């Protein structure tokens, strides 16, 4: 089946259930206008993440990989009153665009974008006792996904929901002989996840306006 069909159905769902308000429309426009890669989660994936996060009634959310803050806004809107979201971003330009988008969405008080390599920021977040987090969204560079997941576990408590984007990659993860570093990183993460007995997890495939991919859903036992 063509991506056209999946895209059309996604548009239909978006119109009914995942409408963007002015802040989300303007965030998407700022991402394009400022030349950021257009790899944000899709509209309906944003709504999906928002619903999942809301189920946890979160006071603390951690995001790894901010880009222009599009997913940050969907997740930030799931915070309970007084809740805080920390989002990690290595690229100063991405972070600048994100901060403006987040401010326009009225989330400047509740969302902090931290600039730096997530692999350096995560130990600091641990030592600052900023956790444990109710929801953690992993969506940065794919090579260290297993490392991000180990840190996510360190920053979790029983019931923490860990969501991991881009874990199917058009089925490339099935290729055991791939030399694609990103795919290898995802494969390593999936193996680790499948062997981690302290969590309950699965992967759900996604189609729609983005290409065929998948999201791992993990609950800490």
Can you give the binding site for ligand SAH, defined by CB under 6 A? 39-41, 65-67, 70-71, 88-91, 94, 117-119, 139-141
Contacts (CB under 6 A) with ligand DHB, residues 16-45: 39
> Does residue 139 touch Mg ion according to CB under 5 A?
yes
Place of tokens 């998407």: 28
Cβ neighbours of 165 (radius 10 Å): 23
Closest to ligand SAH by CB, 65 vs 83, is 65
**What is the C-alpha end-to-end distance of the chain, expressed in Å?**
38
Nearest Cα neighbor of 67 from 140, 137, 116 is 140
Binding mask 123-162 for ligand DHB (x = CB under 6 A): ----------------x-----------------------
Minimum distance, C-beta of residue 166 to ligand DHB, in the bound complex (Å): 5
Burial of 37 (0-12, 13-18, 19+ CB in 10 A): exposed
Minimum distance, C-beta of residue 100 to ligand SAH, in the bound complex (Å): 14
Cβ neighbours of 119 (radius 10 Å): 16
Minimum distance, C-beta of residue 36 to ligand SAH, in the bound complex (Å): 7
With beta carbons less than 8 A apart as the criterion, state whether 68 and 94 touch.
yes
Closest to ligand DHB by CB, 14 vs 139, is 139
Options 10, 14, 63, 165; binder of ligand DHB; rule CB under 6 A = 165
With beta carbons less than 8 A apart as the criterion, state whether 72 and 98 touch.
yes
Q: Enumerate binding residues for ligand DHB (CB under 6 A).
A: 39, 139, 165-166
């Amino acid at each position: 089946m063509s991506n056209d069909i999946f895209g059309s159905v996604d548009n239909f769902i978006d119109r009914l259930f995942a409408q963007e308000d002015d802040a989300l429309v303007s965030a998407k426009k700022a991402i394009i206008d400022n030349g950021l890669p257009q790899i944000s989660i899709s509209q309906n994936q944003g709504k999906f993440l928002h619903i999942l996060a809301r189920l946890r009634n979160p006071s603390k959310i951690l995001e790894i990989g901010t880009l222009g803050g599009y997913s940050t806004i969907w997740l930030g809107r799931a915070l309970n009153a007084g809740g805080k979201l920390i989002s990690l971003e290595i690229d100063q330009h991405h972070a600048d665009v994100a901060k403006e988008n987040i401010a326009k969405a009225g989330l400047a008080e509740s969302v902090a974008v931290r600039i730096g390599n997530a692999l350096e920021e995560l130990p600091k977040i641990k030592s600052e006792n900023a956790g444990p987090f109710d929801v953690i969204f992993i969506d940065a560079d794919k090579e260290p996904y297993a490392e991000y997941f180990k840190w996510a576990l360190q920053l979790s408590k029983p019931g923490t929901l860990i969501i991991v984007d881009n874990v199917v990659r058009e089925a490339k993860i099935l290729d055991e002989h791939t030399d694609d570093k990103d795919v290898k990183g995802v494969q390593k993460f999936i193996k680790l996840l499948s062997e981690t007995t302290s969590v309950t997890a699965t992967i759900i495939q996604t189609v729609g306006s983005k290409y065929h991919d998948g999201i791992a859903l993990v609950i800490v036992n």
